[in-house]
Amino acid sequence: MAASRTPRPNRAESLTAAQSSNPAGSVPAHGVPGHSLAALALPIPPALSLNHFAPSLPLAVALSGGADSMALLLACCLRWPGQVRAIHVHHGLQDAAEDFAQHCQHWCERWGVPLQVVRVDARAAQGQSPEAAARTARYQALAQAVQQQWPQVHDVALAQHADDQVETVLLALSRGAGLPGLSAMPAQWQRQGLTFHRPWLDVPGAALRAWLTACEVSWIEDPTNADVRYTRNRIRRDVMPALEACFPTIRQTLARSARHAAQAQALLGELAQLDAQTTGLPPRLTALQLLSPARMANLLRHWLSTLDDPDARPSTAQMDELVHQVQACTTRGHRIELRVGAGCVRREGDSLGWYNP
């Protein structure tokens, strides 16, 4: 089979849970005779090595059907035979969604990988970006699939690579982001009781596609990747070629800068935790006022982040004003009530509180 970017035309069955003979749209853990992984795949190239990646097993891989996740699934299956599961999140946002699901089912059957297809409603709520809505729905679906079908799985691998990381850094720079934004995508983090990993943040996307082509493994191109209404796609099409012409190693250097930013942010997080032992959370005004403005802002951002509410993310202007108000609060009757994120911060005696009306 020649490598291609189109789905297999002979896989026409639907993958809804109701119509599948397997629960939750699953694919059983058996392969198609004569199509072992050893026969299908070439050895993992050194650039794509997973030697640095040590998840607990069994491991789940988020599988979209695109080149990146297909390569990651194949590499994980070669490294940990019989210990890999796949989850495909069916967003239902485009006509090609069924093709993606069928493509994933075809290759999981061929490689003997258990697959869960989870359908979600990823439509954006009022005031929410389509990307944020899809991302939230995707992580919820991944956690649901693991916790309901494979409770023994504690780690999930995602296939974002160096190109995605560089695009994220450039987007953050264009928005005037601070260290959290410039840190771009973390290589590892915890969410909803699972540990998520991105083992290929240093690997260029071209290397993944070259390996899949050599292995004669097909993938599907997401039609939205060509839609220049999305800033990320314009960066990929217009900005990156120009940057690479001037700075051939721009992908590696920006990825390195993101790692430096992540280290610096980790130190700020540790400092905020130390300060929180003195100020308390929610923070007390008298203790806050003993901190420098920069340290106070760091502690306040840490406090708001502990609320685990996306509406509690302050803009730079909002944080600057909040620090100013805290510094000026020297009398018992001084009132603080400021818009912060989509809610507000209010003074409550000697402490601050955040509310989302």
The pLDDT confidence band at residue 40, using thresholds 50, 70 and 90, is low
Average pLDDT over residues 318-338: 95
The whole-angstrom separation of Cα 223 and Cα 250 is 26
pLDDT(30) > 60: no
**How wide is the angle at C-alpha 87 spanned by C-alphas 85 and 88, nearest 5°?**
145
pLDDT digits (tens, 9 = 90+) for 202-226: 999 999 999 999 999 999 998 888 8
Nearest to 20 by CA among 109, 129, 135: 109
Q: Kindly give, in sequence order, each residue whose CB lies less than 8 Å from that of residue 352, ignoring residues fewer than 6 positions away.
A: 282, 283, 285, 288, 303, 326, 336, 345, 346
Residue 284 DSSP symbol? B
The pLDDT confidence band at residue 22, using thresholds 50, 70 and 90, is very low
Q: What would be the CATH architecture of the domain defined by 280-355?
A: Up-down Bundle (1.20)
pLDDT(90) > 90: no
How many CB atoms within 10 Å of residue 6? 11
More confident residue, 276 or 251: 276
Strand-pair partners of 338: 345
Classify domain 23-246 at the CATH class level.
alpha beta
How many CB atoms within 10 Å of residue 188? 12
Percent of the chain with pLDDT over 90: 71
pLDDT value at residue 178: 93
pLDDT value at residue 129: 66
Question: What does the block give as tokens for 32?
Answer: 């198609």
Ranking 119-133, 150-164, 282-296, 317-331 by mean pLDDT, the lowest is 119-133
pLDDT value at residue 38: 63
Distances in Å between the Cα of 126 and the Cα atoms of 129, 130, 133 are 8, 10, 10
Domain ranges of the chain: 23-246, 280-355
pLDDT(23) > 60: no
Average pLDDT over residues 44-68: 95
The whole-angstrom separation of Cα 76 and Cα 301 is 37
Average pLDDT over residues 217-245: 91
The pLDDT confidence band at residue 230, using thresholds 50, 70 and 90, is confident
Q: Kindly give, in sequence order, each residue whose CB lies less than 8 Å from that of residue 144, ignoring residues fewer than 6 positions away.
A: 118
Average pLDDT over residues 8-35: 35
pLDDT(21) > 70: no
Positive or negative, the Cα torsion across 255, 258, 264, 267? Answer: negative
Compute and round to an integer the Cα radius of gyration of the chain. Answer: 23
pLDDT value at residue 96: 72
Contact 113, 85 (CB under 8 A): yes
The pLDDT confidence band at residue 121, using thresholds 50, 70 and 90, is confident
* Residue showing tokens 């690479």: 244
**Mean pLDDT for the chain overall:** 86
pLDDT(62) > 70: yes
pLDDT(280) > 50: yes
The whole-angstrom separation of Cα 283 and Cα 275 is 10
pLDDT value at residue 31: 37
pLDDT value at residue 188: 95
Average pLDDT over residues 120-126: 69
Nearest to 185 by CA among 162, 216, 155, 214: 162
**Residue spans of beta strands (DSSP E) within 132-237:** 155-157, 188-191, 194-197
Helices 250-279 and 293-306, packing angle to 10 deg: 90
pLDDT(124) > 90: no
